[in-house]
Structure 1
Amino acid sequence: MLLSVEDLHINRGGFPVVRGVGIEVAEGSITVLLGNNGAGKSTTLDGIAGVIPVVKGRVTLSGQDITRRRPFKRARLGLAYVEQGKAVFPGLTVEENVMVAAPRERALEALSMFPELLRRQNARAGLLSGGEQQMLVVARALSMNPRVLLLDEISFGLAPVIVIRLMAAVRQLADDGMAVLLVEQFASLALEVGDHAYVLGKGTIEYEGPCQTLLDHPEILHSAYLGVTSAAATADADPDIGPPTTTGGA
């Protein structure tokens, strides 16, 4: 497994926010992390990326323990993180924004994922639309040639047509071999492009399984969001697929 997270515990302000989370992300796949606001999704990504310290647990990249590595060292090992609301440098051109992270050749290669940006490579980033700016932030992360890409709510505040465009690009990245861990507010769209899903509830994993299962049986997703016990969720689940996997209680 390219990225493995084991028994992750993270506090914010002295209070436990993530408790015993385990996630695996395979090469060439999209793993979707869902949950209500405040469930601990962004905090989980912050811990994986090294933005905040973990209290307990282990994060490995290609079998190498990176739990105590600083964020820039994780980036050098192939881990890129696009945080929610990450801003561009408005006074720099589109091309210069990406060259902050990589040489020009790699910057242009990353921009080629988004033809609309490549056509405007000499334009000031501050003149781009919100959707184009989000594409630019993703392109900047891609310019570092990551093996694992963490994406936190990249659709936030964007028009649905732009969100669909971004999700198609993320799917293409996975098809080309990248491992993607996606936190997304549009659950149905994320599940449509994703391969495997986890649902967080109050800092613990309430469900783990194929994305298609949640699309075919939305009652399982509903139960996981509500933090219903596995016995109650089983009553709603199709007997042919069994109950959702639970690794933590509500």
Structure 2
Amino acid sequence: MTAEIALHGARVRYGPLEALHGVTLAAPARTLTVLLGRNGSGRTTVLRALAGTVPLSGGRVVWRGADVTRLRPHARARRGLCCVPSPRATYDSLTVAENLELAAGGRDFGAALDAYPELAPLLARRAGTLSGGERRMLALCRPLLAPARVVLVDEPVLGMSPAVAARTYALLRALDAAVVVAGQRLPPGPADRTVVYGLRRGTVAFAGEPGELRAGPTPSWSPSG
């Protein structure tokens, strides 16, 4: 599979502490790339490095063969990158409908309500009054409404019921994009067109397919280990 976006020897520092120690990974197009690991493993920092919201102290970010390491976040967004951080990824002072209108760029946002009908009765509510799961649904409407080549999502199903979580991963898998998600467990659903990176203390401890993890013993870096 051809990489849409990749890190090559990426290093990130927060003050005197190095959070990523030469991480190399690739997110193929039209594939779900899953970043697994315990809290503090570097999952969120990988997403921030890909999005450009933290600078690299070493290494490169490569997008379709072009070095975009010095490209600012807004410029990456113009190229087709959509980032859904956790937990704050909605405009809390705006209503659900206003959030959807912004995500859709003024176009019809009916597709979001088809994906998440739970939001339909909440259109007049301010986003800040929603439950955690409802806010995640609202935030995840952004990549559903605005075409993107790279979609980065931190903790995509936080606060969701198992049924809504399974639907969410199905929606993410259906996107015509390289989708990178950071979480603490393997997502439900088919394993085809899915790659997994296990992170441990800012390094890549595992790279492979979901079946390799499901068939073997629980790795030491896993949150359930």
Q: Which structure carries more strand by proportion?
A: 2
My pick for the range that moved more, 155-164 or 53-62, is 155-164
Question: TM-score, normalised on structure 1?
Answer: 0.78
**Equivalences for residues 73-92 of structure 1 within 5 A:** 73-92=75-94
**Matching residue of 2:40:** 38
Gaps of 5+ in 2: none
Q: 2 CA distance for matches of 1:60 and 1:157?
A: 33
Let me know the Cα RMSD of the aligned residues. Answer: 2.4
Count of aligned positions = 220
Is residue 222 of structure 1 aligned with residue 219 of structure 2?
Answer: yes
CA contact (8 A) 1:198 1:206 kept: yes
CA contact (8 A) 2:136 2:158 kept: no
Partner AA of 1:188 in structure 2: L
Q: 1 CA distance for matches of 2:62 and 2:145?
A: 22
Partner of residue 99 from structure 2, selected from 80, 97, 101: 97
Superposed displacement of residue 98, structure 1: 2.6
**Equivalences for residues 151-166 of structure 1 within 5 A:** 151-166=153-168
Is residue 29 of structure 1 aligned with residue 31 of structure 2?
Answer: yes
Superposed displacement of residue 124, structure 1: 3.7
Where relative contact order (Cα < 8 A, 6+ residues apart) is larger, the structure is 2
**Equivalences for residues 1-250 of structure 1 within 5 A:** 1-105=3-107, 107-118=109-120, 120-173=122-175, 177-185=176-184, 187-189=185-187, 195-217=194-216, 219=217, 221-225=218-222
Q: 1:98 to 1:61 in 2, by over 3 A?
A: farther
Q: 1 CA distance for matches of 2:167 and 2:221?
A: 28
Q: Which structure carries more helix by proportion?
A: 1
Q: 1 CA distance for matches of 2:202 and 2:15?
A: 15
CA contact (8 A) 2:36 2:43 kept: yes
Superposed displacement of residue 119, structure 1: 5.8
CA contact (8 A) 1:112 1:118 kept: no
Among the aligned pairs, what percent are the same residue? 35
Q: SS state of the match for residue 74, structure 2?
A: helix
Structure number with greater Rg is 1
Superposed displacement of residue 225, structure 1: 4.0
CA contact (8 A) 2:195 2:210 kept: yes
Question: TM-score, normalised on structure 2?
Answer: 0.86
Gaps of 5+ in 1: 227-250
Give deviations 1:176-224, integer Å, cap 9, x for gaps.
x221111112x1336855711111111111111111211122x2x5145
Q: 1:133 to 1:31 in 2, by over 3 A?
A: same
Q: SS state of the match for residue 200, structure 1?
A: strand
